[in-house]
Amino acid sequence: MFDAIVIGGGPGGYVAAIRLSQLGKKVAIIEKENFGGTCTNKGCIPTKALLTSAHLYQEIVEKSSKMGILVDNVEYDLLKIMKHMEKSVTMSRKGIEFLMKKNKIEVFKATGKLKDNETVLLEETNEEIKGKNIILANGSVPVVFSPFDKIPGVWISDDVFKMEKFPKSLLIIGGGVIGVEFATFFSTFGVDVTIVELAEHILPFEDKDVAEEIKKVLKKKKVKIIEGTKIENIEKEDNYIAEINGEKFEFEKVLLAVGRKPNITEDILNLGIEVKRGVVTNKHMKTNIDNIYAVGDVRGEIMLAHVAMYEGIIAAHNIVGESKEMDYSAVPSIIFSNPEIASVGLKEKDIDKDKVNIWKFPISANGRARTMDERVGFAKVIEEKETGKVLGVTVVSPNATDMIMEGVLAVKYQMTSHQVAEAIHPHPTLTETLLGAFEGKLTIHI
C-alpha cells in the first residue's frame, strides 16, 4: 500500500507527489496523458512560447529603426514558431518526468478512477492500487457551450497549438485572459482579430483602467473590441457568419475562449465527495472524506498553476501529520498581454474608496521605460488610509509579471507603503515605477 496516491500529473499533482516523497512517504502518481497538465501542455507554457516569438517580432518591426538597428524585410516562419513552442513544452514535460524518477515516485500511465476511499482503479489495465491517502488533481477542461459545440471547426485554445497557417480573420469569443493573450499573438502577425466580450469591459476581473490601457494597444494593432455583447447567432458556410448587435460579420476562424471548468468525473460524485462549482475542501485541502484531498483546478476556485502548486504542498504537509492552511490573501494574477499585466490583493472595484488611498505612477515617467521606448502602462498601489498597509498592487508594464513579487510580499506580510518605499530600488529600472506608486504623494519624477 502507498502512503499517498496522486491522481493527475499537473502542477498541483506533481508538486504534491514530490513534496510527499521528500517528506519520506511512498508515493504513486497516475497520469493518463503527459506530465505537466494543462499549464505545461495546453496553457501557460505553449502560449508564452508563442507570445515570446510575437513580442520579438513586434520589437524588431516597431523599434529597430528608431534605435539605430537596420533590419530589412522582416519576415516570420510559422512552422519555426510552432517548433519553438513544441520544444518549450517537451523540455518542460521531460523536466517533470526526471523529477518523478529522481524522487522515486511510482508512475502509472493510466486513467485513475476512485473505487473507494483507499482504492484507485487503473482503467486501461483493470489493476487496482491502494493508498492510505488520495489527492485529486484532475485539473480542468475548456468550457464549450451551445451553439458552439454543434458548429464544426470552432477552435478552443488547444486547437491553436496544432495550427499550420494563420487565418486571415479570427473571431475571439471571450475577452478574458485567454482571449486577450491570443488576440495579442494573432494581431501581431497581421491577423484581422475581433474580440466579443459579454462583460462591461475586456479583462473583467481587472480594474477598468487596466482594461483601457490594453485596449489602446490592441486597437493600435487594429483589433476590434466589442464589449457588453454576446453573439446572437453563428453559422458555418464557407467561412463563419456571426450576428453581433444585429449585424452580420464573416470570419475565417472562430476561437471560443471563455475559460475552463473543473474536470469532475463520475467516480468523484459516486464516492460522495462534496462538489459545488468544483470539489469542496477546507484550508488543509481536505475534502469531506477524511483521507481524500483535492488541489488545483478540480476545486474550481483560483484556477492558476502557481496556486495549484502551493495547494499541493499544503496537502502534502497535512498528509504527513502537520497542520498547514492555505493563505489566499496574496495570490498574484498575471496576463501576458503586451504590455504585461500583474496584480495582487484588492482592486479598486473591490473596495470602499473612502477608506483607502490610491497611488498611480505612469510608465511614461520611468527612466528605464524611456530607454526602451515604452510609454503605455502604470503601477497602482492601494493602501489603507488608517494604517498605510498595502492592500493591493497592479502593474501594467513590460516585465510586469516579474515585477509583481514586490507587491506580493507587501500584501502578504501586511507591509506599509512607507516600508516598501524605504527600500533602496536600483536605478534605472522598471521597478522604480512601483517605487513611485508606493511613495504616493511624495513621488519625485526622474
SS3 content of the chain, % helix, strand, coil (to 5): 35, 25, 40
Q: From CA 39, how far away is CA 92, in angstroms rounded?
A: 10
DSSP string, 324-375: -----TT--EEE-SSSEEEEEE--GGGS-GGGEEEEEEEGGG-HHHHHTT--
Return d(Cα 109, Cα 129) in angstroms, integer: 13
Q: Beta strands of 65-126 (E only): which ranges? A: 106-108, 112-114, 119-122
Q: What is the DSSP letter of 121?
A: E
Find, among 376, 430, 238, 404, the residue nearest to 306 by Cα: 404
As a whole number of angstroms, the distance between CA 316 and CA 321 comes to: 9
Please give the single-letter amino acid code of residue 270: N
Label residue 349 exposed, middle or buried (CB < 10 Å: 0-12, 13-18, 19+). exposed
In this structure, the number of other CB atoms found within 10 A of the CB of residue 208 comes to: 14
The two beta strands, 106-108 and 27-30, are parallel
Strand 119-122 versus strand 260-262 pairing type? unpaired
Catalytic one of 201, 284, 418, 427? 427
Residue 427 known to be catalytic:
yes
Measured between its terminal Cα atoms, the distance across the chain in Å is: 64
Distance, in Å, from the CA atom of 169 to the CA atom of 173, rounded to the nearest integer, reads 13
In SS3 terms, 168-197 reads as CEEEEECCCHHHHHHHHHHHHCCCEEEEEE
Angle between helices 78-102 and 11-22 (to 10 degrees): 30
Which residue numbers are catalytic? 427
